Structure 1
Amino acid sequence: MKTTIHSLLMAVSLLTALFFNYTSQAQSSATQTVRGKITDAASKAPVVGATVVVVGSTPLNGTTTDTDGNFRLSGVSTGRIALKITYIGYEDIFAKDIIVNAGKEVVLDFPMTESFTKLNEVTVSYKRSEDNKVANNEMATVSARPFSPAETLKYAGSLGDPSRMAANFAGVSGANDARNDIVVRGNSPASLLWRLDGVNIPNPNHFGSLGTSGGPVSMLNTNLLAKSDFLTGAFPAEYANALGSVFDLRLRKGNDEKHEFLTQIGFNGVEVGAEGPYSKKSKASYLVNYRYSLFGLMSNIGFEIAGTPYYQDFTFKTDIPVGKKGNLSFWTIGGKSNVTFLGKDVDTEKGDAYGDENNNTRVNFESGVAALSYEHRFSDRTYGKITLSGSRSTQNFKGDTVLYKTGVKEVLQEIQNEEALFTNEKLSINASVNHKINAKSKLSGGIIVDLNRFDLLNRALYPAVISRRNTQGETMLSQAYIQWKHRFSQNLTLNAGLTGLHYELNNKNAVEPRLGLSYVLNERSTLNVAYGLHSNLQPLLLYFYQSPNPNGGYNLSNKDLGFTRSHHIVLGYERNLTENIRLKVETYYQSLFDVPVQSTPGFYSVLIEGADFAPIDQGNLVNKGTGRNYGVEITLEKYFSNNYYFLLTGSVFDSKYKGSDGIERNTPFNGHYVLNALAGKEIPLGQNSSISINWKLTTAGGRYIRPINLGASADAQTTVYDDERAFLQQQNGYFRTDLKIGYKLNRKHATHEIAIDLQNFTNSQNIFQQAYNPRTNQIGTAYQQGFLPIPFYRLTF
């Protein structure tokens, strides 16, 4: 750890020296172009003649949209601005906290909602379209929180990672510092659905094991994302095969008028990017970015750390207009990663969050997704989209048992004990159509068909050969859905939907109704209620686990498992206390059923899985388990204004499950409470530069664990758990605070940003895991990340 911190501090010092040497000369006030497109929210038809004004600009800086709905504002001063967009017959939009930098044009898309009432009727003055925290998906009634790419970079500790950023929201907690898995309302992290530009994608993280939803480092690049949604319960009908949460991410379009470039150094790596039009006469654009591991780069120049992670990723997107009403888009994301942990290098005094001194671990991961889509506006009321996509993920694992000389840490022998090679490929077709009936109603529907091909090999080699998986094949998951949004009045809105699922592997089906109601109480307050029945497939590796039989062979005892299912009920209340401060309270109840548990009496349930690198090795399961999650969440948020913001979120919850033994236990994710406090201040230094200070504090209840039976472990010379007391013992609570300090300078045609993110700057010791150590005959404890300074530098020009 000392070597890592020293290396990072040296990197920060070098970056700082180079930065201030280059930017020492003062510049005149910088300006930038702000442009975009205004469309009808329901039909995507262009809104012609809408007025767009920079709020508070002197002299007034404003314009109107052209026949394609486009607008352009030139000479906008750098800093933060707000836009007000108005058009007769539509609800006003008040877009706040738009960051304008000299190094990059601001390109925005705004959907406008048609007014429910005629001009001569009395209207309610509160409009959801003026709330800058309204989700992209207008079918979402509750538990939906949009976020901008700026938030993933702004919040201390988020490291430009959407998952780590979402851990600040109410109802969400990070599973551990070593990975970016998130626990939502007590659900397993594996119950999260990842979606990118309408495509259901595999785990988008480096070192992301098959069957999990997280990893140590995200492959998603914040610099390439547009405003996206994060949903935590009772979500709309188009989202299926998910129980806990949904990340509905969107890639932005590249600049179609001007070539722009980016270079950045941070936790996620060293990266370069470019975007722009293919020609001056074309509105077709491209967006490309490449990133390489920062720790891998440091290792290559002599700063070695144990278990250096090597990874790289590539993202590309192109958008090509087709006439006035169509758009063709292609995007791809790919990455590869590898790491080696040698038992002899593990620090046994402090513990290691990844390594184990009794084992060598070597892993290689590769993952890629590509999609081609075409969107067409058939009329001013109807548009459709079709997407063809494919993905491939591979995981190669090799492990050794390390034997030491008696009483000393000197390697005696290394024996390969396990190997795994998993390959999963998917071909998908997504088709959807949206129709605006009138100002009151909108219909949408679609189909999603995923063809999965897999090759799964997994076996133990020492002390005995055990085949855990050895199969090849293919299967298909099909989904069809329909959704209806209806505004009974200016105050009352209904969102209803129905989803159907069919899994070809074992001919299992699921039908899921969704229903939501939103009622505007007055100009400041809204009451929301929603219900959803949700279903989730089991991880692919679980279906093909080979259970030993009495004849000495194996059988696929889990292949006939059905969906895990749950009822979601959510009641929410939102109130705008002031123009920039919002209070949100939600209470929820989730009843889970048809959960896979052991066929004979035992504590095991699939609900306890999902936050690990290892696959689930449990056979003879049946869909007879249950679970329940319930709680209350509070959010108090001040949007950025007067140069500061704050976000306070609190959750009190309970998460329980029953295995086949009928005993109700805590899930390992039942921390009972989570509290986050975030705040930030921006200090302008003239018109072109500023200093920012962002702070975060998180405290949460400890996780419930399976205690280790020391006597039985000593006899077996490996970790043996006391399963009769499974998840009765709770670890100590979690505490961590982060501080991020940054400086930004706008020059005439470039923007420089430099920051230092002080992770866990109080160096709190939070338990990661415990295991039996046969060399010392003791239970060892590994702790999560200690104090770690992370440098950041970005140049856009």
Structure 2
Amino acid sequence: MKKIISLIIFVLVALTTVAQQKHSIKGIVIDKGKREPISFASIGINGTGQGAVTDSVGKFNIQNVVPGIYRLQISAVGYNTVLTPEYIISTKDLFITVELEESVTQLGEVSVTASMFRRNPESPVGLRLIGLQEIEKSPGANRDISRIVQNYAGVGYSPVGYRNDLIVRGGGPSENRFYMDGVEIPNINHFSTQGASGGPVGIINADLIREVSFYTGAFPASKGNALSSVLDFKLRDGNMEKNSMKATLGASEFSLTSNGKLSKKTTYLASVRQSYLQFLFKALGLPFLPTYTDAQFKTKTRLSQHNEITFLGLTGIDNMKLNTNLTGEKAEYILSYLPTVKQETFTLGSVYKHYAGAHIQTVVLSHSYLNNHLTKYLRNDESSPDNLTLKYGSLEQETKLRVENVSTFGAVKVSFGANLDHTQYSNNTFQKAYTDQSKTYKYHTFLDMLRWGFFGTMNYESPDERMTVSLGVRGDACNYTSQMNKLNNQLSPRLSLSYQIIGDVYFSGNVGRYYQLPAYTALGYKDNNGIYVNKNLGYITVDQYSAGLTYKHSENLQITAEGFYKKYDNIPFSINDNIPLADKGADYGVVGNEELTPTAQGRSYGIELMAKWIIVKKLNLSSALTLFKSEYRKNEISPYIASSWDNKYIFNLGGTYNFEKNWSFGAKISSIGGAPYTPYDVEKSSLVTAWDAQGRAYYDYSEYNTERLSAYTRIDLRVDKTFYIKKYMLGFYIDLQNITGSQIKQADALMSTGVIENPSAPANQQRYKMKYISQNSGTVIPTLGITFEF
């Protein structure tokens, strides 16, 4: 053992002393609309002093660049200065294309420093940009975007379980939308809850991401059907110079990624991952064992000077088994109700762009598929078909077409477009349930639906860049009912503005109305007679108001204070449970497959404080505090009560510091208030027929969310070390989640003992003897990650 340790130390020391490789950043700078090269543009690597000037055909070459994560600043006479997203220099030279937009004010020589905190006229509030530094090295996140966004203001999470449910500004997990290079992605998590957004692990490989725009309000008019957030992923382009491969061994999977060129005009990205998450969950003593495989690709072809086309794909295959070998009351409780899950999902999309000077046209065509199967047997005993309590098979398919034109007229930018979607949803369900008596639901449904819409936005930026104004509108409709097929019934106007009131202080605000179609699981739900029972549903509505102040100190520090108010209407309300559907979706399975009525209302309001400090190649630090309230009610005459997402406060402080010789250290402290919960209905739960129907206790919804869990605080740490040896990169990281070992005390779980107290009573009156199980969760989760690139 001493010899092995000595050998490891010797190898690490030898690797550290190897001369670090240096590379070149090459590229071309072009006019975004005309697609013509820009001569004599100035290019600088932000924070390093290195730079170059483009030649007569717009090309540049910056040599002797040490590996790392960089931004480039590009400026030219007559053009707006640009600070690019982050790029990684690793084992190969980098080739990039930079697009500059003509400026209506910069006509002569300029000396402008671009800010790392970009302004967006359409979304001056509620927009956060996530770069590679955060994606690669955020403590406790393991390069999973759903966990990284939890660092930002307004984003809640559940410390109970291992899920990525996205809870934004008090809204439910079904209120979010996802885009990848303009293509809508139905979900971004493996083992996703159908009708919502969560799952235990992300499906998108971080190795392919360039940057993420995270909207918590003021959503772009071109991206509809969202009530709480939009995550817009920008993928990298393949390297036009050389091909490369990267292998990553992470917390839950092994992945291979490749990028490069297929021809002189076409680049590619490709990734495949295979999980071993089941081993981690088994080591943690969890009662479910998920495995998954996923793959991604992107190709981009420059057809001509003014035309390009991108193809991309994303697929996931999931299989969650039950760890029935576990013993103990806690495992027995979860195993009593959790189903086995099998899912297959994919999205294929193409994006065509035509550049015609001041006008840019985009056409997006995509197809998405979800095949979801859930199975549950009473006490997990498959020996008899009579034990079957749930057999659920569902298929969703969406084909989407979106066309858009963006035109620039001096200080005014106008965009408009339309979308047409075709949806097919089928479902075969067998389910035993209990309301006031035992019931068996057995039905088949097939829903064939068309959706259509339009959108338009006009943005204005004053010549002195002190003020921006954006006016937008979109309309949505579908042929589900006569009410929902009229665009004027679902018009979504919105207005945004931003003004530099004094010095480096900006006031910004947004007001808008947004609509979302209820989940297909709700729209396609039938009773045992084959009748659609939710034809009374309409589009869910939310009116959002937000305003705030932004202070920018130099170009590296930004402090924001934003207030928001969201008012919901037409929320589907569960007839069986007597609660809003918006309060569901943070568990495995399906949301929406039940009788609903569109009577519920809601509101969420609060204030967000956030600071972000960036020192190039040294420090990336952020802090966020959210104080808020989230409430729902049965109808307009009922009192408001706390929603399931009403944690009252969320606090995060974290960052990463880069040391010499490619060492980095990151830490994060997170604290969240206790969530409300509902006590159990002991009388109903103890009935043999009721318990056997779903294998878990029933809640007393007359006492809905009257209790509250305790607050939860944890600390995550991460250490990274990277070696660059000739043409190879070898990286190690250690990620320690919840290093404090913090535990959260949940409400004691009510469970059947399996012993009938009154066996001589009629079958519908027999009761199990019940017991309570203490539920505490929280442990240290260490992860060792290894990356190798060549």
TM-score (normalised: structure 2):
0.88
- Contact kept, 8 Å, 1:343 with 1:358, in 2: the verdict is no
What letter is aligned with 1:395? N
Counterpart among 43, 51, 75 of residue 86 in structure 1: 75
- Contact kept, 8 Å, 2:80 with 2:106, in 1: the verdict is no
Q: Does 1:593 align with 2:569?
A: yes
Counterpart among 381, 391, 396 of residue 373 in structure 2: 396
Aligned to 2:604: 629
The residue correspondences of 1:7-156 to structure 2 (distance < 5 A) are: 20=11, 24=15, 26-39=17-30, 47-54=38-45, 61-64=51-54, 67=57, 69-79=58-68, 81=70, 83-94=72-83, 98=86, 100-108=88-96, 110-117=98-105, 119=107, 130-134=114-118, 139-156=122-139
Shift of 1:92: 2.7
What letter is aligned with 1:292? Q
What letter is aligned with 1:605? P
Q: Which runs of 5+ in 1 are unaligned?
A: 1-9, 405-410
Shift of 1:200: 1.8
Q: Distance in 1 between matches of 2:14 and 2:532?
A: 64
Q: Does 1:178 align with 2:162?
A: yes
Shift of 1:525: 2.1
Shift of 1:376: 1.2
Q: Distance in 2 between matches of 1:287 and 1:81?
A: 20
The residue correspondences of 1:691-706 to structure 2 (distance < 5 A) are: 691-706=663-678
Shift of 1:533: 0.5
State the Cα deviation string for residues 123-161 of structure 1 (Å, max 9, x = none). Answer: 9x9x8x8222326x6532211111123312211011111
Q: Secondary structure at the match of 1:309?
A: strand
Q: Secondary structure at the match of 1:774?
A: strand
State the Cα deviation string for residues 714-772 of structure 1 (Å, max 9, x = none). Answer: 34545122211101211111222111111111222122210111111111112567542
Aligned to 2:224: 240
Q: Distance in 2 between matches of 1:675 and 1:57?
A: 33
What letter is aligned with 2:317? K
The residue correspondences of 1:514-533 to structure 2 (distance < 5 A) are: 514-533=494-513
Q: Secondary structure at the match of 2:664?
A: strand
Q: Distance in 2 between matches of 1:305 and 1:731?
A: 22
Q: Distance in 1 between matches of 2:573 and 2:730?
A: 54
Identity %: 22
Q: Distance in 2 between matches of 1:19 and 1:701?
A: 48
Does the C-alpha gap of structure 1 residues 625 and 43 become closer, same or farther in structure 2, counting only changes over 3 Å?
farther
Greater shift, 151-160 or 43-52, is seen at: 43-52
- Contact kept, 8 Å, 1:588 with 1:631, in 2: the verdict is yes
What letter is aligned with 2:151? N
Aligned to 2:551: 575
Q: Distance in 2 between matches of 1:644 and 1:57?
A: 14
State the Cα deviation string for residues 47-103 of structure 1 (Å, max 9, x = none). Answer: 443211235657x54121654x5533222123455533221123333559x565432
Aligned to 1:157: 140
Does the C-alpha gap of structure 1 residues 659 and 119 become closer, same or farther in structure 2, counting only changes over 3 Å?
same
Q: Distance in 1 between matches of 2:652 and 2:117?
A: 18
The residue correspondences of 1:264-275 to structure 2 (distance < 5 A) are: 264-275=248-259
- Contact kept, 8 Å, 1:381 with 1:437, in 2: the verdict is yes
The residue correspondences of 1:728-747 to structure 2 (distance < 5 A) are: 728-747=706-725
Aligned to 2:762: none
Aligned to 1:337: 318
Aligned to 1:261: 245
Q: Secondary structure at the match of 2:147?
A: helix
- Contact kept, 8 Å, 1:306 with 1:346, in 2: the verdict is no
Aligned to 1:278: 262
TM-score (normalised: structure 1):
0.88
Q: Distance in 1 between matches of 2:709 and 2:774?
A: 12
Q: Distance in 2 between matches of 1:258 and 1:266?
A: 26
Shift of 1:26: 2.9
- Contact kept, 8 Å, 2:312 with 2:349, in 1: the verdict is yes
Q: Secondary structure at the match of 2:546?
A: strand
Shift of 1:110: 4.4
Q: Secondary structure at the match of 1:178?
A: coil
Counterpart among 414, 418, 428 of residue 400 in structure 2: 428
- Contact kept, 8 Å, 1:54 with 1:62, in 2: the verdict is no
Q: Secondary structure at the match of 1:175?
A: coil
Counterpart among 424, 435, 449 of residue 475 in structure 1: 449
Q: Distance in 1 between matches of 2:68 and 2:629?
A: 43
Does the C-alpha gap of structure 1 residues 107 and 170 become closer, same or farther in structure 2, counting only changes over 3 Å?
farther
Q: Secondary structure at the match of 1:650?
A: strand
Q: Secondary structure at the match of 2:376?
A: strand
Shift of 1:257: 1.6
Does the C-alpha gap of structure 1 residues 462 and 702 become closer, same or farther in structure 2, counting only changes over 3 Å?
closer
Aligned to 1:408: none
What letter is aligned with 2:586? A
Greater shift, 571-580 or 109-118, is seen at: 109-118
Does the C-alpha gap of structure 1 residues 70 and 167 become closer, same or farther in structure 2, counting only changes over 3 Å?
farther
Does the C-alpha gap of structure 1 residues 414 and 598 become closer, same or farther in structure 2, counting only changes over 3 Å?
closer
Aligned to 1:7: none
Does the C-alpha gap of structure 1 residues 109 and 513 become closer, same or farther in structure 2, counting only changes over 3 Å?
farther
Q: Secondary structure at the match of 1:73?
A: strand
Aligned to 2:783: 790
Q: Distance in 1 between matches of 2:156 and 2:95?
A: 33
Shift of 1:469: 4.6
Does the C-alpha gap of structure 1 residues 86 and 131 become closer, same or farther in structure 2, counting only changes over 3 Å?
same
Q: Secondary structure at the match of 2:719?
A: strand
Q: Does 1:446 align with 2:426?
A: no
Q: Distance in 2 between matches of 1:43 and 1:165?
A: 37
Does the C-alpha gap of structure 1 residues 251 and 99 become closer, same or farther in structure 2, counting only changes over 3 Å?
closer
What letter is aligned with 2:446? Q
Does the C-alpha gap of structure 1 residues 298 and 186 become closer, same or farther in structure 2, counting only changes over 3 Å?
closer
State the Cα deviation string for residues 195-249 of structure 1 (Å, max 9, x = none). Answer: 1121222112111132111211111011101222100012121121110000111
Q: Distance in 1 between matches of 2:779 and 2:374?
A: 27
What letter is aligned with 1:494? V
Shift of 1:264: 0.4
Compute the RMSD of aligned alpha carbons.
Answer: 3.2
Does the C-alpha gap of structure 1 residues 359 and 728 become closer, same or farther in structure 2, counting only changes over 3 Å?
closer
Does the C-alpha gap of structure 1 residues 475 and 340 become closer, same or farther in structure 2, counting only changes over 3 Å?
same
Greater shift, 20-29 or 242-251, is seen at: 20-29
